[in-house]
């Protein structure tokens, strides 16, 4: 999906892929010990240039933490002058220098909350099943 998004936008050029397979975006492991955390460090060190694009398939690939924690992460990326695109979100690129847009903010907030609630519900179901089986 992400490569399809990219293929339709010749103004963006693929440089590298970061993959956080097996790293929990709910617990923040993708940030503390995963490729996304490494990407952010590289941005902080200037190894990834300002105005670069972080393209993800879905918002839950960035984080499944609480909405407040997700917003903090987006603010950090904005401060680092990194643009963000979510392939499932469509054409919109969230540029670091964008002005506040209420419609996009509401959609982002809903997607952030859904990602968090989905993971929270799965964790509760797993704990419940584990408790019943032991």
pLDDT tens for each residue of 35-89: 899 999 999 999 999 999 999 988 888 888 899 999 999 999 999 999 999 998 8
Tell me the residue ranges of DSSP E strands in the chain: 53-56, 83-86, 93-94
User: Looking at 15-19, 25-29, 69-73, 111-115, which range is the least confident one?
Assistant: 25-29
First-last CA distance in the chain:
40
32 pLDDT higher than 80: yes
CA distance 115 to 134: 29
Interatomic CA distance for residues 79 and 75, integer angstroms: 6
pLDDT, mean of residues 21-30: 78
Q: Given this model, what pLDDT does residue 118 score?
A: 86
Half-sphere exposure (Cβ direction) of 111: Cα atoms closer than 13 Å: 18
pLDDT given for residue 74 in this prediction: 92
Q: What's the pLDDT score for residue 59? A: 84
Q: Domain 2-133 belongs to what topology?
A: Rossmann fold (3.40.50)
CA trace torsion 123, 124, 130, 134 (10° rounding): 150
In this prediction the pTM is: 0.80
Q: Which of 77, 26, 133 is nearest to 85 (CA)?
A: 77
């Amino acid at each position: 999906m992400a490569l399809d998004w990219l293929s339709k936008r010749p103004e963006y050029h693929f440089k590298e892929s970061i993959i956080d397979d097996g790293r929990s975006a709910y617990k923040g492991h993708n940030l503390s010990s995963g490729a996304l955390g490494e990407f952010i460090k590289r941005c902080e060190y200037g190894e990834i240039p300002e105005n670069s694009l972080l393209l993800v398939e879905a918002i839950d690939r960035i984080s499944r933490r609480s909405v407040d924690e997700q917003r903090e992460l987006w603010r950090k990326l904005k401060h680092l002058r990194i643009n963000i695109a979510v392939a499932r979100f469509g054409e919109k690129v969230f540029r670091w220098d964008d002005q506040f847009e209420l419609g996009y903010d509401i959609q982002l907030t809903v997607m952030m909350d859904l990602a968090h609630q989905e993971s929270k519900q799965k964790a509760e179901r797993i704990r419940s099943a584990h408790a019943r089986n032991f």
